[in-house]
Chains A and B, each alone.
Chain A
Amino acid sequence: MYQYDTIDKAMLEDRAAEFRGQVARRLAGEITEDQFKPIRLMNGLYLQLHAYMLRVAIPYGTLNPTQLRKLAWIARTYDKGYGHFTTRTNLQFHWIKLADTPEILDQLASVDLHAIQTSGNCIRNVTSDPYAGATAEELDDPRVWAEAMRQWSTFHPEFSFLPRKFKIAITAAPKDRTAAKVHDIGLVLRRARDGALGFEVMVGGGLGRTPYVGPTIREFLPANRLFSYLEAILRVYNRHGRRDNAFKARIKILVAALGKEEFARQVEAEWAKIGDSTDLPDTELARIRGAFAPKSFETLPARSEAFETAKAADPAFARFVRNNVKPHKKPGYAIVDVSLKAIGDTPGDASAEQMEVVADLAERYGQGDVRVTHEQNLVLPHVKLDDLPVVHAALAAAGLATPNINLISDIIACPGLDYCALANARAIPIAQHIAEKFRDQERAERVGELKIKISGCINACGHHHVGHIGILGVDKKGEEFYQLTLGGSGAEDATVGQILGPALPYDRVADAVDTLVDVYLRERQGDERFLDTFRRTGTAPFKEAVYADVH
């Protein structure tokens, strides 16, 4: 993992000191709320329904045990003993006091964490593949580039007041676990025929009010030209993105308005003028790459007797392995998905105790590496097969071993109206109701991969547009209603879902999902996923079943 040096640490210390002064000036009345709001937002501090919310950045979703323990300590000391992992792989604390925030930032900085650019119209936390460095699928380690982008984007003097927020995702695997195609910029590492490394660059994807799958504007960008090209994209956007209407200010609107060819032409023209003056020197890339050098894996047999024995003896463990354990690039190792979707709990929430359990396991069995996924789970990317039974037992004891990764109860949900000042409707209880319906793991496994994503408003923090089943909370004459969309995907086959029909009331949503699943099981051919069946049949059979009993 990347280790912060004195320069990286000084940046965080200086930021924490600056914010301390800004909070003091606000509390003393020297600056107004209107002046303070953008300052606190640039530091991830929102005023929500019940308290302030602090969004802590977890760059490219990577944590070490010391950091995770510090987050647990902050949860216990300054919050109500838990935190909420987000679809941007960040961690939100929902019960923060403004007066405590300077101290919290100092505490975060002491373990190389911060809240920089977790809000505001700037370049947000770059997200990456949670299996980076562990999966055999990848062409290169995307974290190298994500860390380089973290540094480049931090306090970027030209691009900190963009028309709107700006999100970048990077992956190096054909299976996209970052939702790259629905980002402002999605970068996919590619290799040219001659072996040279580069990026496919997609621009103008996004969710929110107007969802788009981002078009590719460059098939192959030589890797060492990444930063000049990013500057060209950002500069075209900064100059020409709309500033008259916040709902039309994201880069996706500019790309759609110009057309991808014209947008690409403008970027290429600007890029030609920039030249290579802002590219990162190879020496710095090599330094960062060194920090992500492969771990010292032991040479192990591909087959672990301890693992096989446990699997045969313990059906619960076998089920966990089927759903939550993924192949590692090294024989004898595995990637372990830690579910934050225990049935009936709040998706993405982790208690301080759970954070500490994961930190301990990472330290003892996982090479000190923890990842956060955009689907609001955690990952221990490097666990020996031999150690899996004991890791599973420890996770299970902490309520972290729900064997439901990619299954119907592995639901993304934003905080919704229970916490968020922007929400129109609750998202969490809907997720809880649906998960309860599929508490039976046998049934959930029979249903197979099914991604449900719930947003409490059109801002789409819960990624509902790209859920196999998406659920959007709306305010209909003052009541909570929910619009269903089907057939969305945020993966490499990214698709925006189709609206099924009129929105349903709060207490009918879980039943409607149940009905959708029944239709799928009835219509399914072979080993089709829900998404595959939907793509074949279209909305008709689903619509008919859900709305049949309405009339």
Chain B
Amino acid sequence: MPTYIRIEDGRARLAEDAFSHVADDIADLETGGVILSLARFEAEGDRLISEGRRVGVRLASDEQVEALAYDLPRISLVALDFPKFRDGRAYTNARLLRERLGFKGEVRAVGDVLREQAGFMLRVGFDAFEPADGSNAQEWDAALRRYRHVYQRAADGRAPAFAERER
């Protein structure tokens, strides 16, 4: 089974991936959980879920999480795509998924996912990663812990500097 990196109990760990990415033009679905594009989810999501499948949705960076607002309770995971690591739209999508839409399921970073961005991703609410740079769980764990403090409120619930100062 393929693997990816997941945050569990506050640590980045290697985990087995129970989901497979399904391209739009693949007719036969593998068994187990599937991650569909938004278009395919809109077309086939109801049926697959009613058949007992676990379904995740992959959003391109120009798609907005608000499109999933009413479906989130039925969705197992949301995969947010970084077509290039410099495309920062998925950070907003992740943060809104957590803060505004209250999504508690897995939010997975896919595409051009580099460990240099680990800290940013964790802070906006990602808790799963498919690294594109060959990095391993130990490296992600170190990257996620690099900064002892943060300055802003975000989706991770960490106390910002101003809150720490009040203690």
Contacts and interface: CB of A to CB of B under 8 A. Distances in A.
A10 interface: yes
A30 to B, nearest CB: 10
Contacts of B162: 151, 280-281, 283-284, 287
Nearest to B83: A243
A5 B85 CA distance: 33
A291 B166 CA distance: 16
A299 B57 CA distance: 69
B81 to A, nearest CB: 13
B15 interface: no
A419 interface: no
B161 A155 contact: no
Interface in A1-33: 5, 7-8, 10-11, 14-15, 17-18, 22, 31
Contacts of A161: 85-88, 91, 117, 120
Interface stretch (B22-30, B44-52, B67-75, B147-155): B147-155
A10 B148 contact: yes
B92 A158 contact: yes
Interface residues of A, number: 38
A245 B137 CA distance: 35
A31 B164 CA distance: 35
Nearest to A278: B153
Interface of A: 5, 7-8, 10-11, 14-15, 17-18, 22, 31, 35, 38-39, 121, 151-152, 154-162, 235, 238-239, 243, 273, 277-278, 280-281, 283-284, 287
B116 A22 contact: yes
B119 A157 contact: yes
Nearest to B133: A35
A155 B133 contact: no
A278 B166 contact: no
Given A7-B165, A15-B147, A155-B151, 18 more contacts: A7-B149, A35-B133, A38-B85, A38-B86, A121-B88, A151-B152, A152-B151, A155-B147, A157-B119, A157-B123, A157-B152, A157-B154, A159-B88, A161-B86, A161-B87, A238-B91, A283-B162, A287-B165
A236 to B, nearest CB: 10
A18 B166 CA distance: 28
B133 A11 contact: no
